[in-house]
Structure 1
Amino acid sequence: MTLAGAIATSMVPARHRSRAAQWLPYLPAAVVLAVQAVLTLRLDNIANVDEALYINAGHAYIAEWSGGPKAPDYGGFFSGFPLAYPVFGAVIDHFGGLEAARVASLLLTFVAVACCGSIAAWLAGPDRATVARPVAMAFAALAGPTLFVGNLATFDAPCAVAVIGSAALAMTRRSYATAVLAGVIAGAGAVVKYTGAPFILVTAGLALLCEPTVRRGIARALVVLTTAVASVLAVYLPNASWINGGIAFTTTNREAHNYRDLTFLLGEYLLGMGLLTALALAGLILLVRRTRTVRHALIGCAMIGAGLAVSVSQGRLHEYTSFNKHLIFTALFLAPLAAQAAVLPRVRLVRPAVIVLSLYLLTVGALYRSDFMYHEWPDFSPVVERIHQIDQPGIYMGIGGHAMAYYSKDYPEMEWVEPFTLYGSGPGQMREEVAEARYAGIVLTTGATGSDALDRNTALMLDLLGKSPDYELAGRWPKHRYDTNEFYLYMRRS
């Protein structure tokens, strides 16, 4: 027992000291998770559009299985298998509401953070594992994307824990049974969210590199790869015609829906992950310097490459949508290496200085970034409240319609749709549907969205509604505290 441990247990009554000594090694990790929980749960906002869409979809499937109407075809545009997370999220929402579904994501990020600690402990070796584990956990937990995803009821948390969990099993375990488990978990990550598919190769590669013998490393890598591919195909083959569109639309043939130039995306990356990236690079250098092996250099490079993969892919497409959210993969893969920068310096005084300064800077950055990310989507609650007061049945259309539908579950006579299908039909169809007064209400927002086509169509719709004798402006509200643009609600005249 360390001196600090002896001091801590001395404060416990004598009859409980042996038990306290057993639990003491887990205390730092518990403190990290407690801090993560507090910083995550401080975030508060109405349902994100994706949260509402996925939970609504899950409820639609459950209703269909219970003899209700057929659920819409979500497979053509979901970024994950529609029968995976959405059903899970809907079940939790049924019993505990959106808050419970968000807590489920928090618990999953706990597991992901713990996996980072296991990887860091393995990299640091037994002599420094005790310190490396909680430091890596803290570095992963104190990342804005981790706090953000931990309070978001979407595909992201289960995919993240599957990706880093399979990597942890591949790196820190040696049996073929754990290789099978790592493959199954990696495959599950690709099913839950299609972005997880490339990480199957990362898990297989780490299984290869982390084995001391090449032959056994190849064997374990093949086991991981085979079981992961089999898990994915078991879901994909029976549903290929249903989900091919979603895979192409969101992953393989994705086009930028929210275009940003590369300079802007690089700035977002540096704000969110700049410090952790610098620490990870320093940790890799110290790790290779200590071990002096090509194997550890390749392991470190593989982890950095895995952490950067999604960001580089989105940067190539100039896609800002989900860019900051996907940095959770960066945080999870870089945190174990970053911890090496804090525990491997030879000068003892350097270690606590690096840990304290890094944790302070990471905390400040995480508080700012997570709060910003969690309030990027507009607060439409005054709009929905006004619609409920008017209580006019019919079809309602608006950007964020899925989220508005989530809060209109007590008004079954109201049906919500997004405008994208109408906008895709062209200006002629838009004029026709406004002239026919097809919608009971239409919600529009001002301001640039990052999509020129969407902005043009919104401007046309505002012009058509302003000139229509069948619609009247029922209210306008600011979008949220960071945005001076507004919501416009047009209601059909009774």
Structure 2
Amino acid sequence: MSVEVSPPFVIPGKPRSEARGIKARRQAPPPPAPTTRVDAALDRLVISRALWLSPILLLQAVLCFRLTNGLEEDEALSINAGHQMIGHLLHGTATPAFGRYFGGIPSVFAVPAAMLDHIGGPDLVRATNTVLVLLATVLVYLTARRMVGQGAALLAAAVFAINPTTIFVARFASADAPCLLFLAASLYFAVVAVERRAYPWLAGALLSTAVAEKYVVILFVPGVLITAAAFNLRTLGAQQTRRLMLRITIATLLGLAVWAAVGHGDWSGFGRNALGGHTIDEIAGLTLWRDGWDYVGVLALASVVTAAVLRGRRWLTVVLCAAGLIPVLVEIVYQESASLQRNIALSMVFLAPVLGLLGAALLSPGRFLGARAPLAVVGSAVLLSSGMGTSAAMIHGWPTSTSINSALRYYAHDGSQRFLVDGSDLPAYYLSDVTSYGQWSSTLDDRYASPGGVTRLRTDIESGAYRLVLYRDNGATPALDRSMIPTLRTRYTLVAKVPVTNDNNHAYWSLWLSELPR
């Protein structure tokens, strides 16, 4: 069945040929007229369109703020890095080459995150990220309203708000939330670039900043440009659209050049983490495909069906689907698994308007409404249930060091002692009041992760180089952890073994204390 949808917005009272002369006037056109009967019904029901977005934002805030957990390793790394960079700026203290570990320029997020942490701890960092994702939802709504109409835009905002990946990003203290906001803002200003002379340059600046936050956004840059071109082509014509896209492209390149100059010493992780980064353990391709399907498979299928069924905006929906799905496919094909679930939130910026258009078509009065409406209701219930359940599993699924911190605090002290952990940023953060960052080493360091690392690790442990050694079952470097156990049993004493989480008795933290005199 095909559903007829009216063409995109054209300036009222002006033929399309005159609309191409919009450059000379530079007057902001009014919001697009209703494109479906759902839009007309909404406009009759309420005076303020913003009232319809408020419940969606309230629901999203509730879904986000209900979730909490101890810091995850990447969160601790970001905040620790920010504190170290601030210390370097203020006191000249030496800092590690954090650029190797980040999927973006470290200082862009880490320094503001450390400032927020100093004021209100990790909770304030996460709360700020939640607000940024709420703002991204508003921008998704505004963009979708331009492209697909009022009713579909509200549904698009709802789909974006309750998606588990966006909820996860909102409660994760990393660069993902500001990156999501910058990407959504760049798409909006690219779509409305014709309305103000500054908008193309603003779109490019925001897009380059999103790339600086997370290098993986470079996969979405063509999608932003092509989406804006597909939307504006019918009203501006080919020549004017090309000029508009050229300005956005130039602005993006200039922005990237500025960020490259500002963070010239921090780009060492670009080659390693440009597509999101690998995990330490190899993950089978089929596992990544399964994870991708779990996170976005049904929504991707629904988006493709929408692009195939709906007339009137077929090319726009096809472009949106491609812009959202191709980066995910690239990450899976290249097995860039480290932040796949977070990067899918970026794809939702493009997929949400398509899904909103599908929802509006299902709810439009007309033939077969009795068959279409239940599909929309069931789909909404499934999306909400998935958003609540999957996001909770994602937030509560990572290991924390909460259970072992008290034992570490008893044995670890500031000074010349050194401590080895398979992921050192968690204890380094929680024990920053009694130890210094330089005392902590990780089995993730190049000294042990590079060829010959097993031998070097065994030698260091035999010599008692570390006062404490901490690892967990199925940790970040399980092969290295297993290789050092025989040596630990001869040179160290197991002083603590506690579950990683209270409800998981299958994974334990193991803390070993050196028997050699110091």
State TM-score, norm by structure 1. Answer: 0.87
Superposed, 1:258-337 pairs within 5 Å as 258-287=281-310, 289=311, 291=312, 296-337=313-354
Q: 1:328 to 1:4 in 2, by over 3 A?
A: closer
Q: 1:52 to 1:475 in 2, by over 3 A?
A: same
Q: Which consecutive residues of structure 1, in runs of 5 or more, have no partner in the other structure?
A: 8-20
What is the Cα deviation at residue 256 of structure 1? 5.6
2:481 maps to 1:440: no
Asked if 2 retains the 8 angstrom alpha-carbon contact of 1:52 and 1:403, the reply is yes
- The equivalent residue for 1:246 is 269
Superposed, 1:217-232 pairs within 5 Å as 217-232=241-256
Q: 1:120-175 deviations in whole A, cap 9, x for unaligned?
A: 222323xxx1x222211110111111110000110111111111221122124423
What is the Cα deviation at residue 203 of structure 1? 1.8
Aligned residues between the structures: 463
The secondary structure found in structure 2 opposite 1:466 is: helix
What is the Cα deviation at residue 347 of structure 1? 4.1
- The equivalent residue for 1:161 is 181
Asked if 2 retains the 8 angstrom alpha-carbon contact of 1:48 and 1:403, the reply is yes
Asked if 1 retains the 8 angstrom alpha-carbon contact of 2:300 and 2:325, the reply is no
Asked if 2 retains the 8 angstrom alpha-carbon contact of 1:186 and 1:228, the reply is yes
- The equivalent residue for 1:186 is 207
2:104 maps to 1:80: yes
Question: 107, 118, 141: which one pairs with 1:117?
Answer: 141
- The equivalent residue for 2:427 is 404
Asked if 2 retains the 8 angstrom alpha-carbon contact of 1:210 and 1:217, the reply is no
2:126 maps to 1:102: yes
The amino acid across from 2:215 in the alignment is Y
The secondary structure found in structure 1 opposite 2:174 is: coil
What is the Cα deviation at residue 332 of structure 1? 2.3
Q: 1:367 to 1:466 in 2, by over 3 A?
A: same
Question: 41, 48, 51: which one pairs with 1:27?
Answer: 51
What is the Cα deviation at residue 189 of structure 1? 0.3
- The equivalent residue for 1:143 is 163
Asked if 2 retains the 8 angstrom alpha-carbon contact of 1:159 and 1:193, the reply is yes
**Counterpart-to-counterpart distance in 2, 1:302 and 1:90:** 38
**Counterpart-to-counterpart distance in 2, 1:258 and 1:160:** 27
- The equivalent residue for 1:208 is 229
- The equivalent residue for 1:429 is 456
Q: 1:258-293 deviations in whole A, cap 9, x for unaligned?
A: 432233222222222233223322332344x1x1xx
What is the Cα deviation at residue 397 of structure 1? 1.4
Q: 1:441 to 1:138 in 2, by over 3 A?
A: same
What is the Cα deviation at residue 341 of structure 1? 0.8
**Counterpart-to-counterpart distance in 2, 1:6 and 1:216:** 36
Question: 508, 512, 516: which one pairs with 1:486?
Answer: 508
Q: 1:262 to 1:332 in 2, by over 3 A?
A: same
Which is worse superposed, 395-404 or 63-72? 63-72
What is the Cα deviation at residue 2 of structure 1? 7.9
Q: 1:409 to 1:93 in 2, by over 3 A?
A: same
Q: 1:252 to 1:366 in 2, by over 3 A?
A: closer
What is the Cα deviation at residue 381 of structure 1? 1.1
What is the Cα deviation at residue 352 of structure 1? 4.6
The secondary structure found in structure 2 opposite 1:326 is: helix
2:440 maps to 1:416: yes
The amino acid across from 1:55 in the alignment is I
The secondary structure found in structure 2 opposite 1:325 is: helix
**Counterpart-to-counterpart distance in 2, 1:116 and 1:408:** 40
The amino acid across from 2:257 in the alignment is L
- The equivalent residue for 2:493 is 472
Q: 1:176-205 deviations in whole A, cap 9, x for unaligned?
A: 421111111001101111111232222222
Which is worse superposed, 385-394 or 209-218? 385-394
The secondary structure found in structure 1 opposite 2:253 is: helix
- The equivalent residue for 1:41 is 65
Which is worse superposed, 171-180 or 161-170? 171-180
**Counterpart-to-counterpart distance in 1, 2:43 and 2:229:** 37
Asked if 1 retains the 8 angstrom alpha-carbon contact of 2:275 and 2:336, the reply is no
Q: 1:439-492 deviations in whole A, cap 9, x for unaligned?
A: 12111122376xxxx332111112211122xx2101112223457122111122
The secondary structure found in structure 1 opposite 2:100 is: coil
The amino acid across from 2:243 in the alignment is A
**Counterpart-to-counterpart distance in 1, 2:44 and 2:277:** 57
Superposed, 1:367-382 pairs within 5 Å as 367-382=388-403
What is the Cα deviation at residue 368 of structure 1? 1.8
Asked if 1 retains the 8 angstrom alpha-carbon contact of 2:178 and 2:213, the reply is yes
Which is worse superposed, 87-96 or 345-354? 345-354
The secondary structure found in structure 1 opposite 2:307 is: helix
The secondary structure found in structure 2 opposite 1:83 is: helix
**Counterpart-to-counterpart distance in 2, 1:238 and 1:151:** 28
Identity of aligned residues (%): 21
State TM-score, norm by structure 2. Answer: 0.83
What is the Cα deviation at residue 117 of structure 1? 1.4
